[in-house]
Amino acid sequence: MNYAIFRSEPIYTLNDLAQIGSHNKREKKAYNSNPNIDLSKTKDNVELVPLDMKYVKGFYELTKEYKQEHDERMKNEREDRRKTFRQMVDKSKSVVADEMIFTATHDFFKDKSKDEIQKWADTCMLFVYEELGYKKNQILHATLHMDEKTPHIHCVVVPLVKKLDKRTMTERFTISKKQYIHDREHLSELQDKYCNLLNEFGFALERGQKHSDVEHLNMKEFKKATQELNKELTKREDKLESAINSYEEKIKTNKPIFFDKESVKVKKDTFDSMNKVIEESKKVKDLKPKLEKTYKSMKEQIDNYSNIQQENYDLKDDKWKLELENTNLKVRVNYLEKTINTFKNLIQKVSDFFYHLVADGLVPKSKEEEMEEMFGPLYTPHKKQEKSRDDDYCL
């Protein structure tokens, strides 16, 4: 059984676009990382939509009106808010381009002539124009690679459109992939249409398995998610550290007066500092569900790895691709483990702090139990030796 394969991979920065261009246009002298590329057969590759320049230069040529509009708008911006066109597109939440890959399982291409493969490629490009709705001036480059084990098409588009800016009520340029592929459900519908179109033109192909039980994050999306978590953790850690330092400075000068066996009098600013530490600790606790969700998603991807691959295409004859994807998954797990370790270190600081408060009699034992309930097994305060009365902050 042969499957029709159509994937869409977002490109978020011009640096990434340049690297993809180098691969697609075969600008390297050797491809040691990809043993499937046979440069002696590169002459058989077919330029479906040629590009006689580098990808980034082609991008600037395609978006020159957008750049001109941006540059004009920046003239009226405050100096501290001005961005170059490149800074703007790189830091935008949208893509700079989208790479669509068209192929099929390896057996489909066996015994097919160059003319038959060319007809298949022309049908794929018809899908780009008719079903996706891209115009030729939005296609940066499209090439049919015949120098790898399985023929496939790389079609890189820049979804440049004009949309109404509701703030200024004027039409402005923007790059919007969602204008053409709205979401995962729409992508699934397009994959149906792609398979149907190929069958209409005489190519007997099956539609791959629909949907997956888990959301598949590519490496760039995963790094972005975990980097944001790391930034948030660092920010919370700094605030917590500052609050603890402030509290410790104030407690040194505090002269408490005992009222009874269960309470102690402290200055208001010292008490406020203590509350600040507790407040920051709760914010750290709020990050726990985010970490657990990311980790769960990652674990599910690994546990269902073979199913994800089957959804895309049968890779029995493409063993190197499986190994590459598996390596990427391992890298993501290592990256996430570092994030989790950062979180654990932060919780340890909170644990030590509250253990200190309990030991000094400033917080009742029940509060420590609340911390244990809040953070679970992560709450493991280091047991410290009994301090002398002279070293105590409040006794």
Amino acid at 222: F
Q: At what angle do helices 219-253 and 268-286 cross, to 10 degrees?
A: 160
Tokens of 209: 């398995």
Q: What is the pLDDT of residue 63?
A: 95
pTM above 0.85, yes or no: no
DSSP annotation string for 23-58: HHTT-SS--TT-TT--GGGGGG-EEEE---S-HHHH
Q: What is the pLDDT of residue 327?
A: 67
Task: Say whether 171 sits in a helix, a strand or coil.
Answer: strand
d(CA 328, CA 280) in angstroms, rounded, equals 35
What DSSP character marks residue 202?
A: T
Does CATH place domain 3-210 in 3.30.950.10?
no
Q: CB 110: neighbour CB atoms within 10 A?
A: 8
Q: CB 52: neighbour CB atoms within 10 A?
A: 9
Task: Say whether 169 sits in a helix, a strand or coil.
Answer: coil
Continuous H helices in 131-170: none
What DSSP character marks residue 201?
A: T
d(CA 177, CA 237) in angstroms, rounded, equals 37
Q: What is the pLDDT of residue 381?
A: 64
Domain positions in the chain: 3-210, 221-391
Radius of gyration over every alpha carbon of the chain, rounded to an integer in angstroms: 29
What's the pLDDT tens digit per position in 152-194?
A: 999 999 999 988 887 778 889 999 999 999 998 999 999 999 9
Which residues does the chain have with pLDDT short of 70?
30-34, 208-230, 247-248, 250-267, 285, 288, 290, 292-325, 327, 363, 365-369, 371-395
Q: CB 3: neighbour CB atoms within 10 A?
A: 20
